[in-house]
Amino acid sequence: MAWLRSVLSEEEEEKLEPLFRDVQGAVALSGLVLTAWALGRALSVAIVKTLLAERAQGAHPWPRCPVCGTGLESKGFQPRQVLTLLGMIGWRRRVGRCPQRCAIGQTVPFDEALGLSTGQKTSAEVHAMGCALAVFVPFAVAGRLLGLLTSVEVSPAGIWHWVQQAGTRAMQQLEGELQALAQGHSPVAERLESDVARLPLLVGGDGGHGTVSSPPRNPSGQDRVARGQSGDSGSAGLAYDPQTQEGRALAPASSGRCEGQCSAVSGAA
Ligand SMILES: [Zn+2]
């Protein structure tokens, strides 16, 4: 554990000692897990804070002033803190300004390297988890669940704001992709992990919409049936049976509207 000692200061180690004693003193399994969880979080915070402090000391090139073109200069270290999935984490980093006093505000290359925008108070992984919860439950419940799962307390209004930001980004991305498509640039296919690519698969082209349902289990396993409804004449698909290890192409409809085109894939549960 030499690497651990290299990133933890004596002060940090002393802070972790009581938490480690809590773990040693826990009797019930749930107590053991919860105290170990608390120790793990505190240890993670200490590691991240130490690494941030070290990296903030490194050289980060200063950009030029967008107004006068003069190279920005450091005005010294200033504190920064962000709410993360581990809790609040703070560090100090160099802040730069234009020596000609142009009204461009302060520039912080280290924050930019961390992927943080000006004024950002919460880290991206917290945004993602809050938005994911808000997909399924109301904002107030999402905030409560986020607190229970991560100990990160966020207001419902805060999660609502994150969802608005995510929606805006998604729409901008979609509009960009549609514009590219209109200019003849086909979208780039997402890369599949090798494990995923080997899974039994039913692929279908559908100009309308599709549904997937799971009938009750039968003795030989679970059937998954996918039904597609095609709204165009060029739909096609491929059904793969993992028992026979054979696939078969689903011919595209020759003309007109094709409804209820379906195929079944069976596999042992
Ligand atoms: Zn300037």
**Beta-bridge partners for 74:** 96
Q: How far is the CA of 76 from the centre of ligand 1 (A)?
A: 18
pLDDT score, position 261 = 39
Rounded to the nearest angstrom, the distance between the alpha carbon of 237 and the centre of ligand 1 is 59
Q: Which residues span the domain enclosing 176? A: 124-182
Give the end of a domain, one of 36, 56, 76. 56
Q: What is the DSSP string of 103-153?
A: S---B-HHHHHTTPPTT--B-HHHHHHHHHHHHHS-HHHHHHHHHHHHS--
Amino acid of residue 186: S
Residue 255 DSSP label: S
Kindly state whether residue 98 falls inside one of the protein's structural domains: yes
Residue 254, domain member (yes or no) = no
- Residue type (1 letter), 31: G
If asked whether residues 79 and 104 sit together in one domain, one would say: yes
Are residues 30 and 67 located together in one domain of the fold? no
Q: For residue 81, what is the enclosing H or E element?
A: strand 73-84
The answer on 48 and 9 residing in a single domain is yes
How far away, in angstroms, is 61 Cα from ligand 1 center?
A: 16
Report, as ranges of residue numbers, the positions in the chain whose pLDDT lies below 50. 208-214, 222-235, 253-269
| Token pair for 208 | 């309308």
pLDDT tens digits, one per residue of 244-257: 655 555 555 444 44
In a domain, 77, yes or no: yes
Q: What is the pLDDT of residue 198?
A: 80
Is 112 in the same domain as 147?
no
- Which residue, 107, 106, 105, 115, is CA-closest to 52? 115
Q: H or E segment at 163?
A: helix 156-182
Answer with the one of 78, 100, 121 that is the final residue of a domain. 121
The answer on 73 and 36 residing in a single domain is: no
CA-based radius of gyration for the chain: 27
Residue 70 sits in the same domain as residue 116: yes
pLDDT at site 60: 82
Is there a single domain that holds both residue 75 and residue 107? yes
**Position 65 in a domain:** yes
| In a domain? residue 13 | yes
Q: Do residue 133 and residue 155 come from a single domain?
A: yes
Residues 6+ apart with CB under 8 A from 45: 86, 87, 89
Q: How many domains are contained in the chain?
A: 3
Asked whether residue 33 is assigned to any structural domain, the reply reads: yes
The CA-CA-CA angle for residues 253, 258, 263, to 5°, reads 80
Q: What percent of the chain is modeled with pLDDT above 90?
A: 57
Tell how far the Cα of 64 is from the centroid of ligand 1, in angstroms. Answer: 8
Do 7 and 49 have their domain in common?
yes
Question: How close is the Cα of 97 to the center of ligand 1, in Å?
Answer: 8
The model's pTM = 0.65
Distance 96 CA to ligand 1 centre (A): 11
- Taking the centre of ligand 1 as the mean of its atom positions, its distance from the CA of residue 100, in whole angstroms, is 5
- 52-79 burial, b for 16+ CB within 10 Å, e for fewer? beeebeeebeeeebeeeeeebeeeeeee
Q: Tell me how far the alpha carbon of residue 53 lies from the centroid of ligand 1, in angstroms.
A: 29
> What's the 70 CA to ligand 1 centre distance in angstroms?
6
Q: Please tell me the chain's helix, strand, coil percentages from 3-state DSSP, rounded to the nearest 5.
A: 40, 25, 35
Distance CA(221)–CA(235), nearest Å, equals 30
Ligand 1 centroid to 103 CA: how many Å?
Answer: 7
254: its two tokens: 């020759």
Cα–ligand 1 centroid distance for 62 (angstroms) = 13
Average pLDDT, the chain: 81
pLDDT of residue 234: 44
Cα 74 to ligand 1 centroid, rounded to whole Å: 13
Inside any domain, residue 73 = yes
Query: Ligand 1 centre and the CA of 184: distance in Å?
Result: 41
**Residues 51 and 62 both lie in one domain:** no
Could you say which of 9, 26, 56 is where a domain stops?
A: 56
pLDDT tens per residue, range 137-157: 999 999 999 999 998 999 999
Domain membership of residue 225 (yes or no) is no
